[in-house]
Structure 1
């Protein structure tokens, strides 16, 4: 049949067809930009052009959808061009084939926000993620599947892993989220840090088959962007790219024709209940980044750029606090953390300006000793960009390079975009330090507390619970991690009243023991092996007696070879009643009845159901285990982040308007560590082997403040806080606070611009210090003395007081008589 379309119409028709084809692969609408991603040994190629990637990790479940646009924009304003996140399997599939993609698990909305911001994205599916996340992100229900072996070559695990991976990939494809569809995703990851544990797995042949299967399965998804595997140096499958994780990756050398990529630059460290707060100095993070790009690096991601909060039960690993602040450039609440954010922002701007030199330039190195070198990147047009690094941790050096002398402080890198002038040195922080303060809110006044006891009676006998066994079962498999709590219940008949010691050998994190309905004792394990031997007095009566044991976990193991096989609960026991003469009754093979969870969880007390009759006594019971409390409060005014101070409580869970803010354990005091007493940015940063430094919070409550996102609150209305107190606390001491910038400080040298800034609409109320001689050894907010500069004080006061931010140039006029040679001017203001 002949084509009846006229010659005049054919070009228009061809154009229409082309536009339809374009629309089908570029975001679903004409004009969207299709992006081809490839790579060579220097960099990722975006549409054939080598690019440097400056990325930051923001985990969508550790914040809220309402926070995402602000977090992503701050990352972009900080000089990043890419956002990276893991995908959290156990949050998305809490039960087999029951999926959750709502609220802070709305991953499609998260990537849409990244796209709206005009940024790239890195999709780390895993689906094992580690991430200090419960069970490393793997659903506990996998353990119930016959023949299941985690992260080894076996059909049950690979089937489930492939099913979930395909689900995520297809969701992204359907939403046109991959780069060739006009979306932001330029890299995808499969598995995670497998090389770190592969050699310790029980079956090396199975491990090798598994990791190669992972790569083949991923590549079969046809996502048209490169797949990466981090920390997979020794057994790297074909068609995936190797990347590095750690505090430093400048010495990392990928195999073959691959760019040098750093998927995790740890900006700080996670916190456990028994540990103080970790801080990695801004100078050291900047040093690591500059060293990486000096040594041919091209893709760098901060882990974390925003750490956030471990909301709910599934988002914290064993003994990990609810806070996942990570000392990141954006703090737990989304505030800019200075000086880290600003110091890195300045470095990002320079690296971006040097992009062509870094990815196309010819590299030449000049070594001055084994720790001092200069690196020059030269383009064909003759222009060049340079770095001079000094990796001595205790010695400043003078370097003569291309006819000029440069003073390079210890453990620092100088960046010379034109190979002549030092535009930036990683050890010289010119950004302000902001001290965040938590101010008590007026809504805390007059809180009225209601009370309900946890209903324990049904659990003190064998009446509740459908599962029975003549052995002591493992908690994770038995309860599928549906709750932190699992009841073990049994009975025995005694011919006479008798006194015993109840002895329980447990691998759980906590244990409460009830004998005939009365609490006999409580114990929790140390953070580490989690094994402990429980003992408590037990009085039996003549006749039938009931033994009820409540085992509790505080997050599940998330890392290590065969981590999923670390047991929890009273698996195997033994459980014995021991007489004073040493003779014993072994209950281990009694008939045990099992029940997952607490009664209050089953009826969802945290939702403040209207049919519940809360008691409003004149005096609220305090220090009473297994109690529920609630109070009504107004939303704090303003835009500042809101936290609830739980210093008066002990251990439990906190909810606001039905949202689970996470576990609290305010009775846990952080131990003393040497790192609380020394801090120097110079030298390798470590968080192990007793070499920690720059810690704060020794001898203080492990975590006292808990984030209440404003999207959880009713604007201008009333809100409900519900506490489940497990061990006994005093709700009268609970209060609400807002987080705001307090003191701000900056050090400046002659010719610098002194910039001071408050946040979220705050204004500078006073200039408190403008002095020389204070730059070392003091803390922002506590500066005083020194050689005061009256001229600087007057200039800063005139320009800054009453303003949200201000900038004043440091001129010769600031140097007061007698202060000559001091050099560094310190300014301190109050917001």
Structure 2
């Protein structure tokens, strides 16, 4: 994701011209000022970003099918240079990096592809997708008119284009790739964006569905009502392609997260959550939006809108597709107040900050603020009662060895590690005279360490002394703390930690990481002692990394300590549990590593089901600061209940013809595959209030609400209930606008299809 609101350029690559030939099964892709044309037909294209390295190949079929079922036409992905070319000329397109397989999966389910080769991607991805070796090309300057940069960029881009051509994946070859290298508007709202040329269509390449999470920060979400409003407003102003960033965010596996301090989870509050499950009501509400837009497609691409004021904050955008045929978007821009407008001699109620879509200029089929889709309640359910851990501790007393180097002064971290590890040891020795006053009961000396980022753990004579860290906005920091020194030589070991390399910013290739000083000890008899320019030894990575303890085979090559975890709760400890069986559940197809820790931004880690074997699974964790492994458990994520809300679309008014729509006036509930609605926890038609999980009856309540919902829904995978007052026997309050609130449980079905 680019972290700016609007980019002023639109770079079109026409694939037919790029390839120079056409096959007999080719798709022609052109454009005019209204829209992209596919085989000569103007299209409203609905797109969603799914990044192939952030999920597993085994997830791709399911993700693509859900995207297709959700109303998408196009899947959008960046191409991540650093994973494909980790060193110059050495390429990797296996596993999660199998770009060809990803694109063919999209084609198989009937989706087009927008391939954004970059090679800069931002995307909260490590180093913005650039390989670290690129930083060391002589004379290079990233993202500028720079010869070395353009030469390296050209080599990778041509590699990707040639690969796509050889697999016949471009549209002109009969493949699904219809767009490449397009970037226009990125932001939460883009209705005021216009192309840089009058003959180009209006495209929105990144409609942000949520936001990323950083360690120590809040978990952001975006209400689906606001997202739907932003998209509808973009379309009513002539937009013809919009792309959700993200449609499925996924997971920053391994060391791919950028930042610094971007979390492992890249859920992004997307319609498909980190695990690939439907996020309801966001997924369903957007699906209904897409269906409504497609009903208007012919009118939308046939004419520019005629805009009419319906009030101080209300407008109508009308698109004509021929005599007597039109589609209309009725908008209320007030953020707090609902409005009633008259359009074509009919009265329409418009909630605050909403747009109603009328494919025939008469009948409302969708309103952005009226959500008739259920809210899914998910829980982490235990899979294994207890994990039996073994521990291995990093030796902080005898650091160094053949792998270290010694120089005078402090070195920039990435220059030393070349990003092969997040960890770099800075080690030195300090002699302390026996005459120092602090040795006879005085105040302890203070160590001060200035770091460019991102975190540091301090060890004095092998003992942990303290930690400090920066933040995403301010990665540089200073550690200051008392230290225990003894007479004679003392070993100071500073473990510097990189928490994701920067992915955005002016010339971020020149940004620095690690301990650059000054470093000093104060409180000595002679005052302050500067350690910055004395000899420092360096060791890249941890011993456990060098021994590859995360490998199932290598994890058995060291002596792991069994027994009480209390003995293992110390800094820099590896934990291992083996002989795990595969989680026995047909759905959902994911499990989660769950840590019960308060105040952390991230305590759930996605473990893809495809990573697990039927038996003899080995799990290895590394804990920097001595966390309690007994609080770690393996869980499965499941939908356990649903909440639904639906509102009577209009109160009775005999003065005007009242538009009505069964779809808008209905509540829809649907459990996940393998589940049925097993219990009704709450149901009230009238004036109930509250939020999902804490609904309450109001002063107006239809007494048969619970019985009616129970009759229509119990034992079924899905059900729909109309909010018409006739459906509930009596009208409990004839002069009030009523709503229906329902909360149900979803239970697993047995082999006979019965719920539990």
When normalised by structure 2's length, the TM-score is 0.88
Equivalent residues of 2:206, 2:243 under 8 A apart = yes
Residue 611 (structure 2) aligned to one of 676, 697, 712: 712
Q: Is the 8 A contact 2:54 2:250 kept in 1?
A: yes
1:575 corresponds to 2:488: no
Contact in 2 for aligned 1:772/1:822 (Cα 8 Å)? no
Does 1:785 find its partner at 2:727? Answer: no
Classify 1:709/1:497 alpha carbon distance in 2 versus 1 (closer, same or farther; 3 Å): farther
CA distance in 1 between counterparts of 2:565 and 2:259 reads: 37
- 1:85 equivalent to 2:113? Answer no
Tell me by how many angstroms 1:262 deviates: 0.2
TM-aligned CA deviation for residue 402 of structure 1 = 2.4
Report whether the alignment pairs 1:615 with 2:561.
yes
Give the distance between the partners of 2:627 and 2:214, measured in 1 at CA. Answer: 21
Distance 2:25 2:45 in 1: 19
1:635 aligns with 2:582: yes
Please show how residues 136-535 of structure 1 align to structure 2 within 5 Å.
Answer: 136-189=128-181, 228=182, 230=183, 243-256=184-197, 257-369=199-311, 371-441=313-383, 443=384, 445-459=385-399, 461=400, 463-494=401-432, 496=434, 498=436, 500-535=445-480
Match of 2:602, SS state, is: coil
Counterpart position of 1:119: 111
Write out aligned runs for 1:808-823 (5 A): 808-811=721-724, 812-816=726-730, 818-820=732-734, 821-823=736-738
Per the alignment, in what secondary structure is the counterpart of residue 589 of structure 1?
coil
- CA apart distance, 1:514: 2.4
Distance 1:773 1:50 in 2: 45
Q: Which moved more, 1:51-60 or 1:638-647?
A: 638-647
Alignment of 1:590 with 2:534, yes or no, is yes
The answer to whether the 8 A contact 1:772-1:825 is kept is: yes
**Partner-residue secondary structure (3-state), 1:628:** strand
1:323-365 Cα distance to aligned partner (Å, 9 max, x none): 1111111111111111111111111011112111111134311
Moved more, 93-102 or 409-418: 93-102
Q: What is residue 211 of structure 1 aligned with on the other side?
A: none
Q: Which moved more, 1:252-261 or 1:741-750?
A: 741-750
Q: 1:829 aligns with which of 744, 749, 754?
A: 744
Provide the C-alpha distance between the structure 1 equivalents of 2:75 and 2:694, rounded to a whole number of angstroms. 36
Of 359-368 and 410-419, deviating more is 359-368
- Residues 1:396 and 1:810: Cα distance change in structure 2 (over 3 Å): closer
Q: Determine the structure 1 residue equivalent to 2:646.
A: 748
Displacement of 1:24 in angstroms is: 12
Alignment of structure 1 residues 764-783 onto 2, 5 Å: 764-773=677-686, 776=689, 778-783=690-695
Residue 26 of structure 1 and its aligned partner are, at CA, apart by 6.6
- What is the CA deviation profile of residues 459-482 of structure 1, one whole-angstrom value per residue up to 9, with x for unaligned ones? 2x4x34354332211112221111
Q: Which runs of 5+ in 1 are unaligned?
A: 1-22, 190-227, 231-242, 649-665, 670-700
**Offset, 1:784:** 3.2
The aligned length equals: 698
SS of the counterpart of 2:285?
A: helix
Looking at structure 2, the residues matched to 458 and 96 of structure 1 have their Cα atoms a distance apart, in angstroms, of 36
8 Å CA contact retained: 1:770, 1:788:
no
Counterpart-to-counterpart distance in 1, 2:508 and 2:221:
28
Which residue is equivalent to 2:11?
A: none
Q: Residues 282, 538 of structure 1: CA spacing in aligned structure 2 closer, same or farther, 3 A cutoff?
A: closer
* TM, length-normalised to structure 1: 0.80
Tell me the equivalent position of 1:703. 602
| Partner Cα distance (2:154, 2:483) in 1 | 51
Cα distance in structure 2, aligned partners of 1:813 and 1:504: 71
Query: 2:593·2:634 contact (CA, 8 Å) conserved in 1?
Result: yes
The structural deviation recorded for 1:485 is 0.5
Instruction: Tell me by how many angstroms 1:707 deviates.
Output: 1.0
Partners of 2:163 and 2:312 in 1: CA distance: 50
- Find the residue that maps to 2:53 and give its secondary structure: helix
SS in structure 2 at match of 1:164: helix
SS in 2 for 1:574: strand
Secondary structure of 1:148's partner? coil
Contact 2:581 2:615 in 1 (8 A): yes
Q: Quick one: distance in 1 between partners of 2:681 and 2:484?
A: 66
Whole-angstrom distance in 2 between the partners of 1:590 and 1:804: 71
Q: 2:34 aligns with which of 4, 28, 42?
A: 42
Q: Contact (CA 8 Å) 2:571, 2:623: kept in 1 or not?
A: yes
Distance 2:435 2:601 in 1: 43
Q: Secondary structure at the match of 1:549?
A: strand
- In structure 1, distance between residues paired with 2:422 and 2:302: 54
Q: CA deviation at 1:117?
A: 0.9
Taking the aligned partners of 1:93 and 1:496, their CA distance within structure 2 comes to 55
Contact 2:455-2:470 at 8 Å conserved across structures: yes
The 2-side partners of 1:259 and 1:371 are apart by 27
What is the CA-CA distance between 1:299 and the residue it aligns to?
Answer: 0.7
Q: Distance in 2 between matches of 1:497 and 1:805?
A: 81
Q: Aligned equivalents of 1:531 and 1:350: distance in 2?
A: 49
Deviates more, 1:812-821 or 1:348-357: 812-821
Deviations 1:700-750 (A, max 9, x none): x31111111111111x32322111011111111111221111221222345
CA–CA distance in 1 between the matches of 2:703 and 2:641? 20
Distance 2:21 2:59 in 1: 30
SS in 2 for 1:410: coil
> Counterparts in 2 of 1:601-750, with a 5 A limit?
601-608=545-552, 609=554, 610-619=556-565, 621-632=567-578, 633-638=580-585, 639-648=587-596, 669=599, 701-714=600-613, 716-749=614-647
Report the aligned-residue RMSD.
2.2
**Which range moved further: 259-268 or 759-768?**
759-768
* 2:49 equivalent in structure 1: 57
1:65-84 to 2 correspondences below 5 Å: 65-84=57-76
Are 1:799 and 2:737 an aligned pair?
no
TM-superposed deviation, 1:310? 1.1
Q: Where do residues 124-139 of structure 1 align in structure 2 (5 Å cutoff)? A: 124-139=116-131
CA contact (8 A) 1:743 1:780 kept: no
Secondary structure, counterpart of 1:421 in structure 2: coil
> Structure 2: how far apart are the matches of 1:734 and 1:760?
28
Q: Which runs of 5+ in 2 are unaligned?
A: 1-18, 439-444, 649-661, 747-756
Q: How far does residue 370 in structure 1 lie from its aligned partner after superposition?
A: 6.0
TM superposition shift of 1:761: 1.1
The secondary structure found in structure 2 opposite 1:72 is helix
| Deviations 1:292-329 (CA, angstroms, capped at 9, x unpaired) | 11000001000011111111112342111111111111
Secondary structure at the counterpart of residue 155 of structure 2: helix
- Kept in 1: contact 2:126–2:257 (CA 8 A): yes
Aligned match of 1:218: none
The SS at the match of 1:741 is: strand
